[in-house]
Amino acid sequence: MTSEPRLICETLITQAAARIGGDSPRLDAELLLSHTTGLNRTSFRAWPEREVDAGQAKVFLSLVNERANGKPIAYLLGQQEFWSLPLRVSPSTLIPRPDTECLVETALTLQLPEQAHVLDLGTGTGAIALALASEKPGWQIMASDRISEAVELARANSESLNLPITVVQSHWFDQLPAATFDLLISNPPYIPASDHHLNEGDVRFEPSSALVAGDDGLDDIRLLVTEGLNWLNPNGWMLLEHGYDQGPAVRDLFAAAGWANIDTRKDYGGNDRMTLAQKPTRDQ
């Protein structure tokens, strides 16, 4: 009788990395094997000859095939880190991106009340709202999303991280309870419907409702800029993420709607990534 082949960590990882390809194939393979076995990634290097259970190896290889076919690693793991917070993710929401952390950083620089009222519009996983809650426990933070699955996911992340925020279901401002805020913040859809990137990489698997906003990518931003003034306290701010080439257009939208102190900021790659503006006072 021939014995079953030994399922060795290093062998599985090496073969999986070759199957996955892309920018970080070994990292992806290690993350998937760690997810499957419950072992820490560092143990694979400390004990490369460690054997893996046949059942776990089967699950691992199935995940490797999905990753090789382009499914985002975050969806396979069910988790993505943002602002050092481990967030549950699902295919019903956008995967939080590192550049969106710049939105959080900018919000934290604004002169806001110690108990500021903040609204994160289109929250998805709750990433922005929860990052702000982790830094500003005195802020009263509401998050909204029109997708019920996203609302439940954001609530689950809030509970698991012990970061209390209020999450409501609303299509932008439509179903919000009557209130005014000191900060409106959002990473809205901003990709034009014809953009070729929608057929490439991770975004192929992400919900188009979280990505696409009309022919020029600005439909949702137009609505937010136009209606946002009605939801802000005096001197309140709106802060929006947008495409790298949309800064001039977004500034024009803010200016046409009568906002003050309009400014565009850059992301970690030096690209225009967000624009902020302030509700004008009567003498502005």
Taking only the tens place, the pLDDT of each residue in 51-98 is 888 888 889 999 999 898 888 888 898 888 999 999 999 888 888 988
Rounded to two decimals, what is the model's pTM?
0.84
Do 245 and 272 contact (CB within 8 A), yes or no?
Answer: yes
Give which of 240, 251, 257 is closest to 122, Cα–Cα. Answer: 240
pLDDT of residue 199: 55
pLDDT of residue 158: 97
Q: Scan for tokens 């012990």, then name that residue.
A: 162
CA distances to 109, 126, 231 from 94, in Å: 25, 10, 25
User: Radius of gyration (Cα) for the chain, nearest Å?
Assistant: 22
Do 21 and 66 contact (CB within 8 A), yes or no?
Answer: no
Angle, helix 127-135 to helix 148-161, in steps of 10 degrees: 30
In DSSP terms, which residues pair with 118 in a beta bridge?
141, 183
Percentage of residues of the chain with pLDDT beyond 70: 88
- Structure-model confidence comparison of residues 236 and 210, the more confident one: 236
Write down the CATH superfamily of domain 91-278.
Vaccinia Virus protein VP39 (3.40.50.150)
Residues 6+ apart with CB under 8 A from 198: 191, 204, 208, 211, 212
Angle, helix 247-257 to helix 219-228, in steps of 10 degrees: 30
DSSP 188: -
pLDDT of residue 208: 60
Answer yes or no: is pLDDT of 117 > 50: yes
Q: Where are the alpha helices (H) located in 91-187, listed in sequence order?
A: 101-109, 127-135, 148-161
pLDDT of residue 1: 35
- Structure-model confidence comparison of residues 202 and 47, the more confident one: 47
**Least confident window among 142-156, 186-200, 228-242:** 186-200
1-28 exposure pattern, b = at least 16 Cβ within 10 A, e = fewer: eeeeeebebeebbeebbeebeeeebeeb
pLDDT of residue 213: 55
Looking at 133-271, which runs of residues are DSSP E strands?
A: 140-145, 166-169, 181-186, 232-241, 260-266
Answer yes or no: is pLDDT of 131 > 90: yes
pLDDT of residue 281: 79
pLDDT of residue 229: 95
Q: Which of the four pLDDT bands, split at 50, 70 and 90, describes residue 262?
A: very high
**Least confident window among 171-175, 214-218, 223-227:** 214-218
Q: Which of the four pLDDT bands, split at 50, 70 and 90, describes residue 211?
A: low
Q: Is the dihedral of CA 210, 211, 216, 222 positive or negative?
A: positive
Taking only the tens place, the pLDDT of each residue in 149-196 is 999 999 999 999 999 999 999 999 999 988 899 999 999 987 766 555
In DSSP terms, which residues pair with 141 in a beta bridge?
118
